[in-house]
């Protein structure tokens, strides 16, 4: 077998595993809020800036609108947000938080700190974490 094809030599496998385990670590905290990880990501975007078009949310999450739309529909059914047609362009769908969606921001406020603690207790220093974020951002830019 070629050395380059061994699983242990694959960067992609490590990235996949870290992603899966990170999502798994979020699960208990998000379960308390009745959220999935993708719903949490949408809320992060809307807590930062409410009333965004679907296209903007999709771009922020590096997803296609046809991937985000079913997620938004489900979140609307759950009372977390509402979708309305734009006044200037009826083809544009604007997404706004409901009171229920806004209220979750306070309940979710401790999640980033808890996740940061989970990473740093495994010997990842704050400086290393910052470097890792910069490296991952560059990798994302390169792959896009």
**Assigned domain for 41 exists:** yes
- Indicate which CATH number applies to the domain containing 21: 1.10.10.10
Give pTM, 2 decimals.
0.90
Q: Residue 122 has what pLDDT?
A: 66
Residue of 1 and 60 predicted with greater confidence? 60
88 is in which domain, residue-wise? 10-109
Smallest CA-to-CA distance from 47 within 14, 74, 80, 12 is with 80
Dihedral pair phi/psi, residue 82, rounded to 5°: -135, 145
Taking the CA atoms of 42, 48, 63 and 72 in sequence, report the sign of the dihedral they define. Answer: positive
Does any domain span residue 117?
Answer: no
pLDDT (tens digit per residue) in 83-140: 999 888 888 999 999 999 999 999 999 999 998 887 776 677 888 888 989 999 999 9
Paired strand residues for 83:
95
Q: Count how many domains the chain has.
A: 1
Strand order in the sheet with 52-53: 52-53, 93-97, 81-85
In the chain, the percentage of residues whose pLDDT exceeds 70 is: 99
The answer to whether residue 123 is domain-embedded is: no
* Inside any domain, residue 98: yes
Q: Is the pLDDT of residue 71 over 90?
A: yes
Whole-angstrom CA distances from 66 to 55, 58, 93 are 10, 9, 13
Q: Judge whether 97 lies within some domain.
A: yes
Tell me the residue ranges of DSSP E strands in the chain: 52-53, 81-85, 93-97
Q: Is residue 42 part of a domain?
A: yes
Q: Note whether residue 122 is domain-resident.
A: no
Residue with more model confidence, 116 or 72: 72
* DSSP summary character for residue 62: T
> Whole-number mean pLDDT of the chain?
93
Residue 130 lies in a domain: no
Which candidate, 99, 72, 91, places its Cα nearest to that of 83? Answer: 72
């Amino acid at each position: 077998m070629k050395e380059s094809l061994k699983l242990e030599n694959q960067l992609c496998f490590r990235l996949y595993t870290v992603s899966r385990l990170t999502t798994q670590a979020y699960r208990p905290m998000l379960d308390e809020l009745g959220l999935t990880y993708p719903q949490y990501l949408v809320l992060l975007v809307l807590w930062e800036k409410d009333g965004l078009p679907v296209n903007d949310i999709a771009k922020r999450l590096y997803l296609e609108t046809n991937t985000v739309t079913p997620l938004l529909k489900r979140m609307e059914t759950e009372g977390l947000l509402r979708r309305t047609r734009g006044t200037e362009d009826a083809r544009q769908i604007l997404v706004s938080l409901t009171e229920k969606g806004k209220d979750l921001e306070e309940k979710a406020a401790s999640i980033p700190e808890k996740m940061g603690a989970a990473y740093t207790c495994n010997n990842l220093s704050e400086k290393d974490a910052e470097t890792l974020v910069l490296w991952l951002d560059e990798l994302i830019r390169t792959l896009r």
